[in-house]
Amino acid sequence: EAPLVESGGGWVQAGGSRRLSCAPSFIGFNFDDYGFGWFRQAPGKERERVSCISSMATSPYYEDSVKGRFTISTDDTKNTVSLQMNGLKPEDTAVYYCAAVEGDDPCEEYPEDEYDYWGQGAQVTVSS
């Protein structure tokens, strides 16, 4: 099983909403020590970061194409990180990955290859 487990993927019509959630799959993961990122990979394209949040849960980052539509949040009591996606567009269709990086720097300062744990991915399909 992947270290992180995503849920909430599926099919949605353009303009609709979807909420992705991610949680660690193993005991001993100290949620407060990690920043989290949501990445996505569309067919034929490279994986890109769409949003991230630091371990202090401050100053979330959003890629320009999702600003104002996506919201990242963490719930320390449930050890989950979520991505609320509103106003979905067909170009948002992709496999979405949750990832965790240990550290307290601003999340956008961590390149993709420094993330420590990854989920298996959740397909989100937006139809026009």
DSSP state of 87: S
Lookup result for tokens 């599926």: 10
Q: How many CA atoms lie within 13 A of 58 on its CB side?
A: 4
> How far apart (Å, rounded) are the C-alpha atoms in residues 24 and 17?
24
The per-residue pLDDT for range 45-99, each reduced to its tens digit, is: 999 999 999 998 878 999 999 999 999 999 988 899 999 999 999 999 999 999 9
- Token couple for 114: 């420094």
- Token couple for 128: 């026009």
Closest CA to 51 of 96, 14, 118, 17: 96
CA distances from 89 to 53, 83, 86 (A): 23, 15, 9
> How far apart (Å, rounded) are the C-alpha atoms in residues 14 and 8?
16
The per-residue pLDDT for range 91-128, each reduced to its tens digit, is: 999 999 999 999 989 999 999 999 999 999 999 999 99
